[in-house]
């Protein structure tokens, strides 16, 4: 079993099922004691802003705010892609508590060690 799970979600409201799956897997892993790092890129970037996750709806899916809370309270991290944030004029001060902005070099450094499983949704 991987010691760490890094999940990159590239979809938001434009592909709600794929988006929800990424957050769900991250939250379940964190609740199971797996170290989780969730990366928000593309349209999922918006969910790092206060209140935006609450606007997301998908029938028969857990609410995104609950999944985000599960990730963070389970010791996971949430990172917004530097370029994605810049394109949307999002700054670190705009993010929900517990989220950060970082670039590709940090993503690569997280996925390369032994014992890490990376998933992209």
CA distances from 108 to 39, 79, 111 (A): 12, 13, 5
CB atoms within 10 A of CB 46: 18
C-alpha of 109 from chain center: 17
pLDDT along the chain (121 residues), means of 10: 89 97 98 97 98 97 98 97 98 97 98 96 97
CA distances from 55 to 2, 26, 65, 75, 106 (A): 33, 19, 9, 24, 29
pLDDT digits (tens, 9 = 90+) for 1-17: 568 999 999 999 999 99
pTM: 0.95
Helix (H) or strand (E) holding 110, with range, is: helix 104-111
Q: Is 47 exposed, middle or buried (0-12, 13-18, 19+ CB in 10 A)?
A: buried
């Amino acid at each position: 079993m991987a010691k760490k799970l890094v999940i990159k979600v590239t979809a938001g409201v434009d592909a709600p099922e794929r988006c929800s799956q990424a957050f769900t897997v991250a939250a379940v892993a964190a609740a199971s004691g797996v170290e989780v790092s969730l990366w928000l890129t593309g349209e999922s970037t918006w969910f790092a802003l206060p209140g935006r996750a609450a606007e997301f709806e998908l029938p028969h899916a857990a609410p995104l705010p609950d999944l985000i809370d599960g990730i963070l309270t389970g010791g996971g991290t949430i990172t917004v892609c530097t370029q994605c944030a810049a394109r949307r004029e999002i700054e670190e001060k705009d993010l929900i508590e517990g989220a950060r902005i970082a670039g590709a070099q940090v993503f690569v450094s997280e996925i390369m060690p032994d014992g890490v499983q990376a998933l992209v949704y």
